[in-house]
A and B are shown apart, each in its own frame.
Chain A
């Protein structure tokens, strides 16, 4: 009785397990097929888009624009040019999105969570790249300008290089901030650089100015020393003028009769 019943329940359980397994296979296989199909379609789209973008960018002259920013030199040793890189980036971006969609088939799972994070981060990476490219273009333009304008000076080239390095630095820091490398890293770096420049300026410029400033002070003091007797004499002459005018001007009627001699010098004579 008991064993029979047990067998029955067992067989029932067994059948249910089997059908459960079948069930899950039946639901898994379509999902898996969908997964593969999505991947395949995504991959094809990615390929096509990458090709098209590469062609369009080359046609538009993107490489030449970027070249001005000096990015070309950075890429000189790699087998890619700038448009290749953009195309590759797009390719992988589309692949990532495809993967995300494909894994979405399985419902919520850790892999798609990671992928979602990466995909959400992609636009910021693009912006960061744009910032670097733009900063590079500005930096080289500024360098050209400064070097051209100050070319006759011995330090014109140095100033140009400094300016471009500075702009590059700002651009890179902005890009790092953009892709989420924490400001806790970049801001201290920026502050350190600025403080270093400040320190160099203070010691170099200030130290160099000690002697000129000294001689300037000497000159000022000498001049003051020379000026004091002059100023004193001038003030005395002024006083004499006032006295004189007060004395003689007080009786204007007299001046005709006694013109010159009427105003004898007050002291002396």
Chain B
């Protein structure tokens, strides 16, 4: 992969996203139920990106994740809404679909090493 420019901007977007909803990951680490939800979202996102993007396997995972997250964020914005990021652990338990989706993206991004395709990296933590 010769070009790092897209990857770099994708990294930046994911970092911003992490600043926004990263708290959800921390909460999820402490609340098993929430962790399971995040994992399910993450699995869904991963499946969508591996099967729904042509040549997705050849492209850095961060680029795909960033594209996906941007799509979700833009959808929220175009509906004229703000992303309602939960404030504390109790709120996270009632977090809406968008927040959970974005937290899932963050968790996938965290497990990515730069340049790795999504499909092969992220071993889902077993739900057992």
Contacts and interface: CB of A to CB of B under 8 A. Distances in A.
Interface in A192-223: 222-223
A181 B60 CA distance: 73
Interface residues of A, number: 38
Contacts of B40: 259-261
Contacts of B6: 227, 230-231, 234
Interface string B47-67: 111111111101110011111
Nearest to A264: B44
A236 B53 contact: yes
A229 interface: yes
Interface residues of B, number: 48
13 contacts: A222-B2, A223-B3, A233-B67, A234-B59, A241-B68, A241-B74, A243-B71, A244-B71, A244-B101, A245-B98, A249-B79, A259-B100, A266-B52
Given A249-B98, A265-B51, A269-B51, A242 B3 contact: no
A268 interface: yes
B12 interface: no
Contact of B55 (A227, A229, A242, A256): A229
Given A226-B2, A240-B67, A241-B70, 17 more contacts: A226-B1, A230-B1, A230-B6, A230-B59, A231-B6, A236-B56, A237-B52, A237-B56, A237-B64, A237-B65, A240-B48, A240-B52, A240-B53, A240-B71, A242-B75, A249-B75, A268-B52
Contacts of A268: 47, 50-52
A223 B69 CA distance: 25
A243 B72 CA distance: 8
Interface in A165-214: none
B43 interface: yes
B72 A245 contact: yes
A233 B71 contact: no
A206 B98 CA distance: 55
B41 A263 contact: yes
B63 A237 contact: yes
Contact of A233 (B36, B45, B53, B100): B53
Contact of A265 (B47, B70, B97): B47
B69 A241 contact: yes
Contacts of A245: 71-72, 75-76, 98, 101
B44 A237 contact: no
B104 to A, nearest CB: 9
Given A223-B3, A227-B5, A236 B47 contact: no
Contact of A230 (B3, B36, B98): B3
B96 interface: yes
Nearest to A226: B2
Interface string B65-90: 11111111011100100000000000
Contacts of A232: 54-55
A250 to B, nearest CB: 9
Contacts of B5: 223, 227
A267 interface: yes
B83 to A, nearest CB: 11
A235 interface: yes
Nearest to A243: B71
B68 A240 contact: yes
Contacts of A234: 6, 10, 59, 63-64, 66-67
B39 interface: yes
